[in-house]
Amino acid sequence: MNFSHTKNQYLTSFKNKNNFIFFKKIKKFKSDPIPEFINIVENNNFSFLYESVEKGKEKGRYSICGYNTIKTIQINNRKKAKEKKLSSTNKNAFLKIDRTISKYKFLKDKKLPPMAGAFFGYISYENIYNIEDISKFKKKNTLMTPELILFIPQILIVYDNVSNSLYILKHFLSGVKKAQEYEQVLNELNDIENNLYKKVNNQAINLDKKKRLKIKSNITKSKFINNIKKAKKYIKAGDIFQVVPSQRFETNFKSKGSSLYKVLRLTNPSPFMYYFNLPNFQIVGSSPEILVRLRSDLITLRPIAGTRPRGKNIKQDRKYELDLLSDEKETSEHLMLLDLGRNDVGKVAKKSTVSVTAKFIIEKYSHVMHLVSNVTGKLKKNISTIEALMAGFPAGTVSGAPKIRAMQIIDELESEVRGIYAGGIGYISPDGDMDTCIVLRTGIITKNKLYVQAGGGVVYDSDPELEYMETVNKAKAVLNAAEIVLGNNL
């Protein structure tokens, strides 16, 4: 039987008033589900696509699509960072997230993928203000996106790239007065499967065909360079070792988020790729870096710091690799962030279990190579999933070290809230599993505008001009994709 429940089992689950998951498993799915996943997200609110292309070419295990929320946790943005009353409200709401998530555990087959029954969404950078007393300056909030959105999709489709199995899940919450007819559920899941087999007529994309964008920043170049100089003064004074100021780029963009995603997954494949369609805005991203991962009580952080372009051939590629490994500035900056990651894991893990499982390794992607390390630890008892997340939030690679003082300096230097940029995106399960990435190389589409934010790590011997250009170059991953979208009239 392809379905998880017989009719009697299905009706019994309703009578017992349990949250449960009804699903269909197709053992060998012989089609590419991604084109239809993109269509689903484009045409449904509270929907998402989440996939992975690791190390530039290898697919991550799961490609995930979900839509039609049955439970949403949302914390709306504060109008001003200094409004104490609203800040207090947000803090209380934030601290209740764990309790809310824990109420939505599902009875489910243990063989289902780990994200079955999970909340999907994002947590904005400013949520750190609900934990630490950092913000002192009034800030503009141009995008007005909520501080946090997490939701359980009614329908979740998971494709296992290892076994080629496809799971089509429907989540049912307790308390429903009348059960949906069993045959209706079967037909619904069968229809979803049949749609996934349909061939999607996608327009061919010419990656060389671009239309130049008119781009503006929320800060002038001279002011940004002055901010870098201010940051270096704090470093020389001993306040910090590193800080990551950023700027936000803006351009007109009347195309769909689905078009941007289609191009971005071709031009900048990454370990964390996502496309969210939410009320009034869309998120399209291609991030290289884990924020916090939690599986079977094993917490993982994976700091990335240090970048070189890919070479045109094997010889040049090797040259850039050796250059990166021998660059004292890059390696010392990476070591700082590795130490910070070890400290973050140590906050919530049993001390004897904190381990650096990979150190200063080179990971190669389609356009760049990065210097990467890996830190793990076994979670202490009575530490919640959200507590584990916040131990590493925000990542040192988007804030600095020491983290609290670096964030205070960012608060001083940046005139607008960061919002989704430098926050986290992914899933959190009531069962304790979690997989989140840092929001990097990401575009926010709202009101016919595209916003892309990027930062650069400033250390003692940083060159302000080069640090400015680093932020420009990082933003190009998304902005170049947008130029291809417009050039192809997608």
Catalytic residues: 370, 397, 421, 441, 457
Region class of 220: left (phi > 0), else alpha (psi between -120 and 50), else beta: beta
Whether residue 402 has a cis bond before it, omega within 30° of 0: yes
Specify the pairing of strand 434-438 against strand 304-309. unpaired
Which token pair is 148? 């946090």
Burial 426-450 (b: 16+ CB within 10 A, else e): bbbbbbbbbbbbbbbbbbbbbeebb
Element (H, E) at 403: helix 403-413
Cβ(267)–Cβ(484) under 8 Å? yes
Cα 313 from Cα 316, distance rounded (Å):
5
Identify how many contiguous H helices and E strands the chain contains and give both numbers: 12, 23
Rounded to a whole number of angstroms, the CA Rg of the chain reads 22
Cα 227 from Cα 354, distance rounded (Å):
36
Angle CA 337–340–344, to nearest 5: 135
**What residue type is 477 in one-letter code?**
A
Q: DSSP character for 133?
A: -
Cα 10 from Cα 219, distance rounded (Å):
57
> What are the backbone dihedrals phi and psi of residue 302, each rounded to the nearest 5 degrees, phi first?
-140, 80
Whether residue 394 has a cis bond before it, omega within 30° of 0: yes
Which token pair is 372? 């990467």
Cα 430 from Cα 73, distance rounded (Å):
13
